[in-house]
Structure 1
Amino acid sequence: MSVLQIKDLTKMFGKFTALNGVNLEVNEGEVFGFIGPNGAGKSTTIRILLGILKATKGEVKIFGKDAWSDAVELHKRIAYVPGDVNLWPNLTGGEVIDLFVKLRGGNHQSRREELIQRFDLDPYKKCRTYSKGNRQKVALVSAFSSDADLYILDEPTSGLDPLMEQIFQQCVLEAKEAGKSILLSSHILSEVEQLCDRVGIIRQGEMIETGSLSELRHLTRMNLILETKEPITQLYELKGIHDVKEKNGILSFQVDTEQLDTVIKHVSPFGIIKLESTPLTLEDLFMRHYEKKGQSDQIQGGRS
């Protein structure tokens, strides 16, 4: 069942088109990854979902209600975490959490205490003394303490250390198991890969691809840097190899995750001196995959 539906969403700021015909759907019990480079339109879309901005054209429905005209009623069922949290400086973290939970009409004291411990947050400190990471923890504890049906998370792990990021991921998966829906905007591809059932990719205000991670296999590639004693032969003939570059005898390329084992077996006999692997970043993805795709689309369009 669809929880969130965006149809042909357009948002103009004067003559500037921030969003152009965006279509997006999030289903019940689904974690949907919403990714794109800075300035692509992610935050503008989220502000429209929250009823902060009004769409120029198109339809935005949450639980079957209009995101703009029914915003007050919808907020009772939505929990939102921004990427840069501003809190009341003279309140303690615990007071802010209590305030947000009460605003949604809940009183989940045991859940609140459990999350404060898991996120290693001191709730008695004034918010003005908190680091960015601790302000983020206050927002996350507030969100996951409430009994929301839809979580809208806009770069929620900004400022968190890797251990806290793991706790966040556990909370998302627990919410999903409870049948909740999550829209996760993130620039960390590994986070999206671990959590999301489907992914939508936005670029320059337009949705360019939507699908499961198995359908969008280029999202799960690895970057490899490889140096061997002997030159590697037949590397280009292997499946799942992309963007091979060579400099001073050192190879760098991308490999589809499911082909990693085959590639390692192929290169091992050549005597590995150095092997580095890193997950694909969003910058890699847009520079290598989508820029090339955009160029090839233009070429095809020019030929027709």
Structure 2
Amino acid sequence: MTDEIVSITNLQKNFGKFQALSDVSFTIDRGEVVGFIGPNGAGKSTTIRILLGAIKRSGGDAKIFQKDVWQNSLAIHENIAYVPGDVNLWGNLTGGEIIDLFIKLHGKGDKAKRDRLIKRFELDPKKKSRSYSKGNRQKVGLIAALSVDAELYIFDEPTSGLDPLMETIFQQEVNELKQAGKAILLSSHILSEVEHLATKIVVIKQGKVVESGSLADLRHLTRSTITLETSQPVNSLKSLTSVHDFNATTDNAATFSADSTAINEILVHATKLGIKKIDIVPPTLEDLFLRHYQ
């Protein structure tokens, strides 16, 4: 059995003369959480809709379980679970009835897990869904998806409307899925959430994948922040080509950014000045994101 669950190669999508996707390629393996990030209009939801078989691609290739996503969408849906960023519900049904309906339609639900998730997400399943807030509508979608046994979980802005406590619970549930060897595609604007969960990051911009890899792989693309205090004046560090935005707070202390590939060089130089205190903060996913979009 192959570990590759999703395979996308040179994916393209045109809406008339507008090209929404021009070159999207990435894979998702078992036990892998792929964080799919980019601003509104970058092509994230279009990519997901193609994977779900909701729209047909204009070019390239997209497969789930080694099956074409358009030609085999019904068979593929038997082993995937999906939560959109805005869950629409039937107003006359209760949250519990809708969850049970989703589980029945999927066919691989776990009622004990459903009950546990209803309690964890603090949802009142007896209320009519028309009375639910956006956050509670999201909870219904999440509980239904997490209650089924799927091989691939697709989350498109899943925690939209949830408070921070519920976001944490969602993250814990996703980590459990990852440990169980499930494949997960997580599209989110909450970069800290992606950074916490993802084993691989895919950055999309104007319909193209512009970066892809583990967060550790991508950290070299941005700069670390260094706060340093030394016995001797630190101003000589300013002349190093790998040091940027140098700000001396005193003669013997400074804060600056540095190319991650040159940390050793900087430390060798700083050691000669007599290091009294040093703090190195690696670049965050937000730094990487802003690098492309500012």
- Report the TM-score range of the alignment, normalised by the length of the smaller protein: 0.7 to 0.9
The separation in 2 between residues aligned to 1:38 and 1:88, in whole angstroms, is 27
Question: Normalising to structure 2: TM-score of the pair?
Answer: 0.81
Specify whether residues 184 and 269 from structure 1 end up closer, same or farther in structure 2 by C-alpha distance, changes over 3 A only: same
Q: Which amino acid aligns with 2:43?
A: G
| SS of residue matched to 1:160 | coil
Specify whether residues 236 and 147 from structure 1 end up closer, same or farther in structure 2 by C-alpha distance, changes over 3 A only: farther
Q: Which residue of 2 aligns with 1:89?
A: 91
Identity of counterpart residues, as a percentage? Answer: 55
Q: Quote the offset at 1:233 in angstroms.
A: 3.8
- Cα contact 1:2–1:27 (8 A) shared by 2: yes
Aligned length: 284
Q: Which residue of 1 aligns with 2:23?
A: 21
Q: Quote the offset at 1:202 in angstroms.
A: 0.8
Q: Which amino acid aligns with 1:146?
A: V
Q: Any stretches of 5+ residues in structure 1 without a counterpart?
A: 271-276, 293-304
Q: Which amino acid aligns with 2:245?
A: V
Question: Normalising to structure 1: TM-score of the pair?
Answer: 0.79
Q: Which residue of 2 aligns with 1:208?
A: 210
- What's the C-alpha RMSD, in Å, of the aligned pairs? 3.8
Q: Quote the offset at 1:254 in angstroms.
A: 8.3
For residues 287-302 of structure 1, the aligned pairs below 5 Å read: 287=290, 289-290=291-292
Q: Provide, for residues 40-83 of structure 1, a one-character-per-residue CA deviation record: whole Å limited to 9, x for no partner.
A: 10000000000111000111110011111111111111100111
For residues 169-248 of structure 1, the aligned pairs below 5 Å read: 169-217=171-219, 233=235, 236=238, 244=245
The separation in 1 between residues aligned to 2:176 and 2:201, in whole angstroms, is 19
The separation in 1 between residues aligned to 2:167 and 2:99, in whole angstroms, is 19
The separation in 2 between residues aligned to 1:239 and 1:167, in whole angstroms, is 44
| SS of residue matched to 2:7 | strand
The separation in 2 between residues aligned to 1:234 and 1:189, in whole angstroms, is 36
- Cα contact 1:219–1:280 (8 A) shared by 2: no
Q: Which residue of 1 aligns with 2:63?
A: 61
| SS of residue matched to 1:214 | helix
Specify whether residues 191 and 221 from structure 1 end up closer, same or farther in structure 2 by C-alpha distance, changes over 3 A only: farther
- Cα contact 2:225–2:255 (8 A) shared by 1: no
Q: Which amino acid aligns with 1:175?
A: L
Q: Quote the offset at 1:7 in angstroms.
A: 1.1
- Cα contact 1:221–1:280 (8 A) shared by 2: no
- Cα contact 1:188–1:281 (8 A) shared by 2: no
Q: Quote the offset at 1:244 in angstroms.
A: 2.6
Whether 1:165 aligns to 2:167 is yes
- Cα contact 1:201–1:210 (8 A) shared by 2: yes
| SS of residue matched to 1:80 | strand
Pick the aligned partner of 2:141 from 134, 139, 142. Answer: 139
Q: Which residue of 2 aligns with 1:33?
A: 35
Q: Provide, for residues 243-285 of structure 1, a one-character-per-residue CA deviation record: whole Å limited to 9, x for no partner.
A: 6387x999786897xx7xx8xx99x979xxxxxx9x8574x54
| SS of residue matched to 2:177 | helix
Specify whether residues 83 and 237 from structure 1 end up closer, same or farther in structure 2 by C-alpha distance, changes over 3 A only: farther
Please list every run of at least 4 consecutive aligned residues from structure 1 whose deviation after the TM superposition is greater than 4 angstroms.
218-226, 234-241, 248-256, 279-282
The separation in 1 between residues aligned to 2:220 and 2:168, in whole angstroms, is 24
